[in-house]
Amino acid sequence: MRVFRPYPEHLLLEGISNELPAKTRVLAFAPHPDDEVFGCGGALALFADRGADVRVIIVTDGEAGLSEDPSAASNIRREESLRAAKHLGYVPPDFWGLPDRGLGVWTLVDRIITATAKSRAELIFLPSPLEIHPDHQALGLAGILALPALAASSEVWFYEISQPLSEPTHLIPINSVMEKKNAAMACFQSQLTQLPYGQRIAGLNHFRAYHLGPNVSAAEAFVAVTPGNHDVWQCFFDSALRVRTLLLTARRYLHQKLLLARENQALVQTNAELARTSVELQQTVAAFQAEIARTSVELQQTVAAFQAEIDAYRSSTSWRITAPLRALVSLLRRSGSSERR
């Protein structure tokens, strides 16, 4: 008889760290203004409290998340992140202003590597590529593609927002800074009026304390990739997820290519049609102008011939001889008409 043997409880939790490493330069990448706070705001506040140099790069302005015109929406959302930064204790974030809901993975890879090298960050935060929002996925995936360059000198920590990480490597207690995180989350009024994001993230952080004992009431979860362990495919994904992510990316890429090719073809056809119509129009106009010129010359010739005929008639002998007769006829007509009145 086969007996079910549960996997040892302590082994399931073994290896999950609750410590923030002793890093002095930290850089967080966020897809939109608010993700830096929702995803890793607690950890950033803890690093800032320790006196670490904490930098934040916000990749898009999240302008698609508001009904205002894009530049007004960008300003509102940037302002919210700037206010949140003050609550969490780090310098104003940098904004790249890339298009919201339009992030391309490959262009981000180089930018992430360059920005990280420039900041000399020892620890980088990025969204998990298993997030739901396409910009979150793109930034997370770009981070993974940049890993061979990043993980040589920095630890890379992936954070969760809307899609909980299934196997976190770190659960960091954030009780001591939860008040600051709540204050920072409250800065995103433009988003909170649409959904109570702050409550939902606070709920997630509360749940993350489940295994951390009675003294911890809130935690943030991360999957960390360290220089000695940068085989992210093994520690982050099982093979099914890896295939799914790759397929999704490939499918989206091919779909975009296909759409572009179709648009291009339609444009080429329209262009050819326009060129044909333009030539036809020019030919019609030229033919019309030639006809007008021809008719005008003919008319001038007819008028001249007619004039010559009249002149010849008036200068003829018979015209001159009959002049008294015409004068008489004219006189008689006038007197006849005055008698009838």
Among 169, 316, 319, which Cα is nearest to 234's?
169
The identity of residue 219, as a single letter, is A
Q: Which residues bind Zn ion (CB under 5 A)?
A: 31-32, 35
Answer whether 135's CB lies under 8 Å from 32's CB. yes
The first and second tokens of residue 324, run together, are 């008294």
* Beta-bridge partner residues of 171: 221
Please tell me the distance from the alpha carbon of residue 34 to that of residue 184, in angstroms, as a whole number: 9
Kindly state the smallest distance separating residue 214's Cβ from Zn ion, in Å: 33
Please tell me the distance from the alpha carbon of residue 226 to that of residue 46, in angstroms, as a whole number: 20
Residue 29 vs 216, nearer CB to Zn ion: 29
Residue 116 vs 128, nearer CB to Zn ion: 128
Residue 35 vs 122, nearer CB to Zn ion: 35
Kindly state the smallest distance separating residue 135's Cβ from Zn ion, in Å: 6
> Closest CB to Zn ion belongs to which residue?
32
Kindly state the smallest distance separating residue 133's Cβ from Zn ion, in Å: 5
Residue 139 vs 151, nearer CB to Zn ion: 139
The identity of residue 255, as a single letter, is H
Q: What is the DSSP string of 177-233?
A: HHHHHHHHHTT-HHHHTTS-HHHHHHHHHHHTTTTS-TT---EEEEEEEBTTB--HH
Report H helices in 130-169.
Answer: 134-150
End-to-end CA distance of the chain: 143
Residue 96 vs 233, nearer CB to Zn ion: 96
Residue 64 vs 183, nearer CB to Zn ion: 64
Please tell me the distance from the alpha carbon of residue 150 to that of residue 114, in angstroms, as a whole number: 10
Kindly state the smallest distance separating residue 248's Cβ from Zn ion, in Å: 18
Kindly state the smallest distance separating residue 183's Cβ from Zn ion, in Å: 20
Kindly state the smallest distance separating residue 31's Cβ from Zn ion, in Å: 5
Residue 37 vs 121, nearer CB to Zn ion: 37
CA angle 142, 143, 147 (to 5 degrees): 120
Kindly state the smallest distance separating residue 131's Cβ from Zn ion, in Å: 8
Please tell me the distance from the alpha carbon of residue 305 to that of residue 297, in angstroms, as a whole number: 12
